[in-house]
């Protein structure tokens, strides 16, 4: 199963981030955690005053470096995020104001 969006391609065992020069392939085995904050005024204000992350972005933290980076981030709409393969969707931790990631 493969689902393609403007900035990323999700398959059952990897995430491919589209870049101009070269796509970044991230196998699920190397993913430590996935974080996402759904866009809402409450989340926006909460993150804006206490955290460096922003709403509407999927943060991918890695166990091992890929291209000398431990973390990748790209913006994706929540409606698109719901369409990704279920095994990846279950790994995503959603932001709730007042709780730590």
Using H for helix, E for strand and C for coil, what is the string for 68-100? Answer: CEEEEEEECCHHHHCCCCHHHHCCEEECCCCCC
Q: Is residue 11 part of a domain?
A: no
Residue 100, pLDDT > 70, answer: no
Identify whether 43 is part of a domain: yes
Residue 14 lies in a domain: no
| Residue-number span of the structural domain to which 67 is assigned | 30-94
pLDDT at residue 29, as a whole number: 93
- Domain assignment present for residue 16? The answer is no
Q: How many domains are contained in the chain?
A: 1
pTM to 2 decimals? 0.83
Residue 79 lies in a domain: yes
Does any domain span residue 65? Answer: yes
Evaluate whether residue 2 is within a structural domain. Answer: no
Give yes or no for residue 57 having a pLDDT over 90: no
Residues 69 and 52: their CA atoms lie apart, in Å, by 18
4, part of any domain: no
Three-state SS string over 18-72 comes to CCCCCCEEEEHHHEEEEEECCCCHHHHHHHHCCCCCCCCEEEEEEEEEECCEEEE
Q: Which tens digit of pLDDT belongs to each residue from 26-50?
A: 999 999 999 887 766 566 555 555 5
């Amino acid at each position: 199963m493969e689902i393609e969006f403007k900035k990323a391609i999700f398959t059952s065992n990897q995430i491919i981030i589209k870049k101009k020069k070269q796509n970044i392939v991230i196998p699920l085995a190397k993913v430590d955690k996935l974080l996402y904050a759904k866009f809402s005024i409450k989340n926006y204000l909460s993150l804006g005053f206490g955290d460096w992350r922003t709403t509407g972005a999927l943060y991918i933290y890695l166990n091992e470096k890929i291209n000398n980076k431990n973390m990748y981030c790209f913006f994706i709409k929540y409606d698109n995020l719901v369409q990704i393969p279920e095994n990846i969707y279950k790994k995503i931790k959603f932001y709730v104001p007042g709780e730590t990631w």
